[in-house]
Chains A and B, each alone.
Chain A
Amino acid sequence: MTEVELRVHELRKTFHPGLLEPSVEVLKGLSLEVARGEIFGFLGPNGAGKTTTIKAIVGLVIPDAGEITIAGHPHDSLEAKRRIGFMAENPYLYTHLSGREYLRFSAELLGIPPPEVADRIAAVLAQVTMTASADRKMRTYSKGMLQRIALAQALLGEPELLILDEPMSGLDPIGRRDVRDLILGQQERGTTVFFSSHIIPDVETICDRVATVIDGAVRGVGAVRDLLAREVERYELTFTGADPARLATPLVASRVGSDAAWARVEAGHRDALIRELADAGARLVSLVPVRSTLEDLVVAQVEGRSGS
């Protein structure tokens, strides 16, 4: 049986900004489970409740109702917190310190034994490729460099569960690739990774499973390939010996090329088109299912067109 590393059950949170401002219900019974060792992506539009969920998990926001456990421990217990490495969406660091000084401060808070601190810091600095700049004051860092130090402090305690809020935002393509590689590397050493992202191709590339969160609740959860497989909506056909303009089957789009014709149909019209092409004596060259991307899925869910 798969062990659950992170369990969020029926999480509810309403913010009350002030007497004259209306309350905002951000989380409406959000539930999800992340298995030990998997990379779990958390997707959704702005304001869906992703960051509030993450803040509740790491203990920055106090839920009104619901339960959060980490490896079976209540999320606000020290046992749970010892297992977490957390990186926020923006790197909130003491910029008057150098990267190495900040990591030393983090190591002391984590209770890493003093003889191990220097080696552990050197290791995480190497992982985030910041060794060369580690002794500069962080106020001289670029956003990408700050993001790397924020990631380094998350890795410092060798966490069981890495929680990353938008880890790729603000990074250049090389930085994004490095973070992707680092997440995959963490999975290889057995770390569970839970991260939110707006950059859907990154999620598609590295996540084992994803959850889509819309309006404070999880709308869909599952393996990326399963979620997308359910969303095959159209087919593209290439054929010779028939003019798309003369076909009776409704087409979404068509084009006549020098060698062959091409047409796109809704999934429901696929068989009718194949039959019509056969009856017309045409030759089918290829039939390609057009799967929706995660982005299409999220957009569809936001617009209420799909809800699995």
Chain B
Amino acid sequence: MRVIRVIAATTFREALRDRILYLFLGFAIALLASSKLFGILTVGDQAKIIKDMGLAGIQLFSMLIAVMMSVLLISREIDSRTVYYILAKPVRRWQFLLGKYAGLLAVVAVNLALMTAALLLFVWVYGGGVDARLLLATAMIGVEMAVLVAFATLFSVVTKPILGSVFTLAVFVVGHVSEDLWLLTRHLPGSVGRALATGLYYVVPNLERFNFKTEAVHQLAIPAAAVGWALLYGLGFTALALVLACLRFARRDLQ
């Protein structure tokens, strides 16, 4: 654990040095601007609109951090060969990878916490009620990001940084249309297309399982079982992606 913690802490510091937390400022400004704009354009409950926009913004900005930083920070370590001096020490390759993952997750979590705090402040200012569902919805975005960062970690050890970012982005997009993909498998005429859509459905995690935004905005009931299954589902895909990443990295030549 010591080695993982040390690598995670260094990764976290490196992300801060890259001014990644500025993305949080971007989020706050975007939220402020959109709340003003929608306040003028709509006659409905402004706090609800802010919640809706805020949660979507949190998801978007978290995804941007996960996609950009994960692939960048791990690939940079390999490409710039700073990994040489780490792996020549009594450090297992899987410890290095899990350390990077933990550090990146910490970066995403801190950003998520800051953005959530900003959202709560905005909701409070505009007279909306702040309840646990809003916190749960953002926490589940965190779980979604844990899955996404795990996939980014996998892609960063099997391909080049740009392709890794594209693949991670593809997981995010396909993961959110996963249920449509399942419907598509029933209506596609060709067997090849159907096999492809079915394959994608099973390989790419269904990220909509972590989506509790509607319930949070409209204050609907959230079944505990749905949250529990989503957590298990997220844990399963995260573990799978990380195990595959570790297995691949264990056999990779560092030249």
Contact = CB atoms under 8 A, between A and B. Distances in A.
B253 A15 contact: yes
Contacts of B88: 58-60, 81, 84, 86
A93 B90 contact: no
Interface string A119-158: 0000000000000000000000000000000100100010
B254 A108 contact: no
Among A55, A93, A94, A110, residue most surrounded by chain B Cβ atoms (within 10 Å): A94
A266 to B, nearest CB: 45
Contacts of B255: 15, 55, 60-61
A109 interface: yes
Given A88-B81, A92-B81, A93-B82, A60 B87 contact: yes
B179 interface: no
Given A78-B90, A109-B91, A157-B89, A62 B251 contact: yes
Given A15-B255, A96-B14, A96-B17, A86 B90 contact: no
A210 to B, nearest CB: 23
B117 interface: no
B82 A111 contact: no
B110 interface: no
B84 A88 contact: yes
Interface string A230-272: 0000000000000000000000000000000000000000000
B10 interface: yes
Contact of A108 (B2, B83, B87, B252): B2
Contact of A62 (B82, B83, B253): B253
A69 interface: no
A86 B85 contact: yes
A111 B1 CA distance: 11
A177 interface: no
A72 B6 CA distance: 29
Interface string A93-112: 11010000000011011110
Interface residues of A, number: 27
A221 B6 CA distance: 41
A157 B10 CA distance: 20
A277 B164 CA distance: 78
Contacts of B82: 92-94
Contacts of A109: 3, 6-7, 86, 89-91
A62 B81 CA distance: 16
A106 B85 contact: yes
A157 B89 CA distance: 9
A60 B254 contact: yes
B80 interface: yes
Contacts of B3: 109
A59 B254 CA distance: 9
B255 to A, nearest CB: 7
Interface of B: 2-3, 6-7, 10, 14, 17, 80-92, 251-255
Given A106-B85, A110-B90, 4 more contacts: A59-B87, A61-B254, A62-B251, A86-B85
30 contacts: A15-B253, A55-B255, A58-B87, A58-B88, A59-B88, A60-B84, A60-B88, A60-B253, A60-B255, A61-B255, A62-B252, A62-B253, A78-B92, A81-B88, A86-B84, A86-B85, A88-B81, A88-B85, A90-B81, A92-B83, A92-B84, A94-B10, A96-B17, A105-B10, A108-B6, A109-B7, A109-B91, A110-B89, A111-B90, A157-B89
